[in-house]
Amino acid sequence: MLSAGAVAFIGAVFLAAGLVKGVVGMGLPTVAMGLLAAAMPPAEAAALLLIPSLVTNLWQLFTGPSFGGLCKRLWTMMA
C-alpha cells in the first residue's frame, strides 16, 4: 500500500508531465518516467504509466483534426 506522501508525489509527477504534454503535445512518458524512477523501481514506474499514456494518446488522436484523413493517409503503416 502506498503512503499518502507517495500518492501525492505520483499525482504531482503526472500533473507536471500532463502539463508538458498539453503544451508540447508529447513527453508525458519521458517526464513521468524520469521523475518516478527517482522514487521507485523502474518496473513500477513503467506500470503506472500505462493507463495515463494510453488515455492521453487516444484523447489526442480522436479530438485532433481529421482522424479519418489520418487513417486514409497512413493506412499502409497501420498494417
The per-residue pLDDT for range 28-74, each reduced to its tens digit, is 999 999 999 999 999 999 999 999 999 988 888 888 788 888 888 88
Higher pLDDT, residue 78 or 55: 55
Output the pLDDT for position 44.
93
Output the pLDDT for position 56.
86
pLDDT at 2 > cutoff 90: no
Question: Residue holding cell 505520483?
Answer: 10
Output the pLDDT for position 70.
84
Give the start-to-end residue ranges of the domains of the chain.
4-77
